[in-house]
Amino acid sequence: MTPEPTPPASSRSSSPGPTSDDAPREQVPNPLHHLLDVLRLERVGDGDGSAADPEHFRGVSVHQPTGRVYGGQVLAQAVLAAGRTVPDGRLPHSLHGYFLRPGGLDVPIDFAVERLRDGRSFSARRTHAIQHGKPILSMISSFQELQGGIEHASRMPDAPPPEDVPSALDVLGGIDHPIARFWSHHSAFELRHVGGSLYLGPDHEPTDHQMVWMRSRGDVGDDQLLHRALMAYACDQVMLEPILRQSGTSWVTPDISIASLDHAMWWHRDVRVDEWLLYVQSASSAQGGRGLGAARVFAQDGTLVASIAQEGMIRVPAM
């Protein structure tokens, strides 16, 4: 019997949970528009930005068939909340976050932003994502004005164009299961794995590298803060996959448990998530029920736009 596809549970707040068969195909007629609505945070407090009186924002969540909040969503919302408090013209260039608890879909998420520093060029913010009075994510992010300086970037490796690579819809579109429908029809991003995905089984030639083309399913506009937040949203889907490839496991390995523990991200240049981006990924180590994934992200013209690292918990009962 073909195993049921399991979506990438790539953060502690999106770890495998009970699935639901009551997610109709027409529930989210335009997944990208729905995601953009979710990312429009409401300001609910006018604190002074100190640790004792942070600024407060509130957001809701995208439906997930796992019944848990997707961790990339919380990252994106935290970036946007912090970005609402910095001087005009400063964009995020790095974040470092820890996933602390699972998030639930039943209540909104509150974002408390502390103003750690506003210098002549940089601003630093600490953001806590909170449900039921407890943090589910703690993140520090740094913002910078546009400045000149030394220019250097790694070169993009050779890769087939995205048009020649099968999509998630090609792989999962014919499977009548709520999780398969979610990733093939209801996802706001289109993913195309070079050399094949891990949705339905392991890689037959284990390797600690992979490449994935990714873009949003529609135009996002020109707000660079939003594009960078959406990159944080999207990348959380794939960051731990090279570890699965190397170990001969996949998203459908029985009783596998996967959850990201921390996430670091550096934006080097402006990015557009509504144009194809190539994620060139690797996994340098796995041990003690944890693994480290990394990615360099290139625009289709070869420009390096971001670097990402994530450590996650990966537990397989037989190992």
Query: What amino acid positions are annotated as catalytic residues?
Result: 236, 260, 310
Residue 309 DSSP code: E
Do 97 and 78 form a contact (C-beta atoms < 8 A)? Answer: yes
Distance CA 113, CA 165 (A): 41
Q: What is the DSSP string of 253-295?
A: STT-EEEEEEEEEEE-S---TTS-EEEEEEEEEEETTEEEEEE
Phi, psi of 182 (to 5 degrees): -60, -50
Distance CA 204, CA 249 (A): 10
Distance CA 291, CA 243 (A): 7
